Amino acid sequence: MINRKRIVESSFALVAAVSRFAARARTFYYDVVLSDHVCPTCDSPVTMLGEGRCRCRSCSRIVDPTLAFQACPRCGAKPRLRIRRYECSACGAEITSRFLFDGLVFDADYFRRKMGEHRQRRAEQRERIRQVLAEGRSGVLTPPPADLSTVPGLADALNSLTGGMQLPLTYQPREGFDLKRYQAHLQAHIQPFAMSLDEIPPLGEDARIDRVWRFITIIFLAHAGIIEVWQDGQTVMLKQYETNPEGPHVPGDVEEIDGVEGLVGRVET
């Protein structure tokens, strides 16, 4: 047991020593490869900041040394950075950077752009999920309290519905209008197939008021997504709202873009 503990401890010490050595080797490597290059602006010496970035010791300009100091070995043209590697901007040949200690470079703009797209796609997907869930749940929503002013055009519709009757309608719900009672009555008679408003039996004695209240109730049930309402000539038609029997489905799941999805996810966390 003691031996095993000692082995583990010396392994950690070895890893730490190797890391320190690697850091020194990296610094030494950069000093060497940058020793015969100077700032393109002011000819002063440059120091490496990190992979693909060095800074002028005098004017502080930051450049990518591979782009600034290397050329295509095939045609001599300037390199350009393509996501995670360099290539010739003229002939497209791959260019191996002399200025990368472990051969990894990172196009920060590219990944920033990809991160933005990734976040936007996730936000869009969340919104789709929210909508699908909202539609899926519409069957159990209870309608909001009756307020005729919140439904544009309702007053005109009610007037045309009761056209030919003597008194013009006042648009305040009167006392005695029990939306819950009318809602229960309508839901007891509504069918999954189309029927007209007049096929629903009256609930009150005053036929005109009863018809108006039935109509108001179906407007609110339609707004709550419980029934569908449409007009067929002079007839108001309605039926139960069909919920999706297959359950919520989210179209357009997040797809991979250029195979960087996993990488982007790691960068973000």
Token pair for 168: 């013009």
Contacts of 50 (CB under 8 A, 6+ apart): none
Report d(CA 75, CA 20) in Å as an integer: 40
Tell me the closest approach of the beta carbon of residue 38 to Zn ion, in angstroms: 8
In the block, which residue shows the tokens 């029934």? 227
Tell me the closest approach of the beta carbon of residue 54 to Zn ion, in angstroms: 11
Nearer residue to Zn ion within complex by CB, 77 or 237: 77
Nearer residue to Zn ion within complex by CB, 59 or 108: 59
Strand blocks (E) in 158-200 = 195-196
Strand blocks (E) in the chain = 46-50, 53-56, 62-63, 79-82, 85-88, 94-95, 195-196, 227-232, 235-240
Nearer residue to Zn ion within complex by CB, 49 or 165: 49
Strand, helix or coil for residue 120: helix
Tell me the closest approach of the beta carbon of residue 62 to Zn ion, in angstroms: 10
In the block, which residue shows the tokens 């010496």? 45
Tell me the closest approach of the beta carbon of residue 104 to Zn ion, in angstroms: 22
Question: How many Cβ atoms sit within 10 Å of the Cβ of residue 122?
Answer: 11
Tell me the closest approach of the beta carbon of residue 24 to Zn ion, in angstroms: 26
Report d(CA 216, CA 151) in Å as an integer: 10
Nearer residue to Zn ion within complex by CB, 88 or 216: 88
Nearer residue to Zn ion within complex by CB, 73 or 139: 73
Binding site for Zn ion (CB under 5 A): 39, 41-42, 44, 56, 58-59, 61, 72, 74-75, 77, 88, 90-91, 93
